[in-house]
Amino acid sequence: MRLHSLQHVPFEDLAAISAWTARQHHSVSVTHLFHHEPLPQVTDFDLLVVLGGPMNVSDEAEFPWLREEKRFIEEAIQAEKKILGICLGSQLLADVLGARVFRNEHKEIGWFPVELTQAAQTAPLFADFPPVFTPFHWHGDTFDLPSGATHIGQSPACRHQAFTYGNNVVGLQFHLESTPVAVARMIDHERDDMTPGPYVQSETEILNAAEHFAQSQNLLFSLLDRFC
């Protein structure tokens, strides 16, 4: 299988997804959008992973490559490619699918529980997920559910944590791909975003969560196995 990722900043990469691709012997390629690298043809990959980043979907004046990226994502959806959007990636998917992306009432930074919807609990894609699990979050924006999408998960801080669209699109606000190294890099680069709030944990709380890192990787691998 050919996986291609869209990377928005140097410090948010595939992380644990790289371990899954190595285990499955899939090929991996990447477009570093922050280096203004060209996008591939949609015929060049089977799975597209749209990664996270600190910018907003509307920041096209500062990051003009966002416009081209959105057109590319729309083309990939129309070509019925498998697409996984993570955090900013899920927001870009929602935007391309016609939903509103906006500032959430709360920032959500740290390990907080997500509850699967009834639809998700009966979906084969999430068969290995418990009804409630605790992934890593780092987002201040959220989105309305796109028309025709299925609501997958919610949390006390954010109603729309995940969605699917058809059989080929998955959007996750949270970071199942998190590893201790990846999260430490996010903290180093985005520490100023960690302002006090009811859903913002300390650096110590975030990094001392071995059981959550392990669970997230197991859920990630199951999701990717079933998705692909």
- Read off the pLDDT of residues 43-80 as tens digits, 9 standing for 90 and up: 999 999 999 999 999 999 999 999 999 999 999 999 99
- Please report the pLDDT score of residue 142 as a whole number: 97
- Read off the pLDDT of residues 147-187 as tens digits, 9 standing for 90 and up: 999 999 999 999 999 999 999 999 999 999 999 999 999 99
CB–CB of 126/82 below 8 Å? no
- Please report the pLDDT score of residue 17 as a whole number: 98
φ, ψ at 3 (rounded to 5°): -105, 135
- Read off the pLDDT of residues 93-141 as tens digits, 9 standing for 90 and up: 999 999 999 999 999 999 999 999 999 999 999 999 999 999 999 999 9
CB–CB of 152/176 below 8 Å? no
**Helix spans in 8-145 (H):** 16-24, 65-78, 88-96, 118-121
Number of domains into which the chain is organized: 1
Where residue 87 sits, what CATH number does that domain have?
Answer: 3.40.50.880
Mean residue pLDDT across the chain: 97
* Owning domain of residue 208: 2-227
Question: In the structure, how many helices (H) and strands (E) does the chain have?
Answer: 7, 11
Among candidate residues 92, 81, 74, the one with its CA nearest the CA of residue 8: 92
Residue 180 token pair: 């201790």
- Please report the pLDDT score of residue 96 as a whole number: 98
- Read off the pLDDT of residues 136-149 as tens digits, 9 standing for 90 and up: 999 999 999 999 99
